[in-house]
Amino acid sequence: ENLHAELEQLKNQITPHFLFNTLNNANVLTQKDPDKASEVLVRLSSILRYQLYDSARSQVLLSAEIRFLNDMLNLEKIRRNNFIFTIGNEGNQEDFLVAPMLFTNFVENAVKYSSDIEAETFIDINFRKEGKVLYFSCVNSLPANFKRENDSASRGIGLNNVKRRLELIYPNRYELKNELHSKTYEINLKLLL
């Protein structure tokens, strides 16, 4: 029971940042572009439905998790004109079950750190299934003025939450690596299911 409570607490710590940003965006759009504001709210409704109902389960279909991430990134695309993203998936994920919201923090961080007012930004996500192993990668661009010393503290809380969830749900069955390059940041996760 304590394990379940800790998992719920960690899962709930991951999502508020995204929710507040999206509501703020919808508020601004109501004045500038009401049609886009409506689209934001419809997508947000879909996301919240997933968070409230589907993510209450201990496992969800990987395909549902990918749709959720796609909705998140489409909302970001509405907010930023110079933003592109891809989500690739290899292998049959229809019968593949994962912990809900497992990849959300990685994608939220990618959105946060890829933001650049002047330059085009990107996020490339890939899921690959090989037998009972799932490989996840998320690469995002970094703004030209990115400062490494500011990175570790703010990324640390979210990354620590994800690591703790991984330890609780997939003990000794995962590998997590992150790499900071000159113009990109990359997360790679290998899950043995």
- Domains in the chain with CATH codes: 2-192 (3.30.565.10)
The mean pLDDT of the chain is 86
CA distance 190 to 193: 10
Of the pLDDT bands very low, low, confident and very high (cuts 50, 70, 90), residue 13 is very low
Residue 153 confidence (pLDDT) = 52
| pLDDT reading at 14 higher than 50 | no
Q: How far from the centroid of its chain's Cα atoms is residue 38's Cα?
A: 23
Please name the helix (run of DSSP H) or strand (run of DSSP E) that holds residue 36, with its range, or none: helix 34-52
CA distance 29 to 103: 28
pTM for this structure?
Answer: 0.84
| pLDDT reading at 39 higher than 80 | yes
| pLDDT reading at 188 higher than 80 | yes
Q: Which two tokens stand for residue 8?
A: 């719920």
CA distance 20 to 102: 19
Q: Which DSSP letter does residue 181 get?
A: -
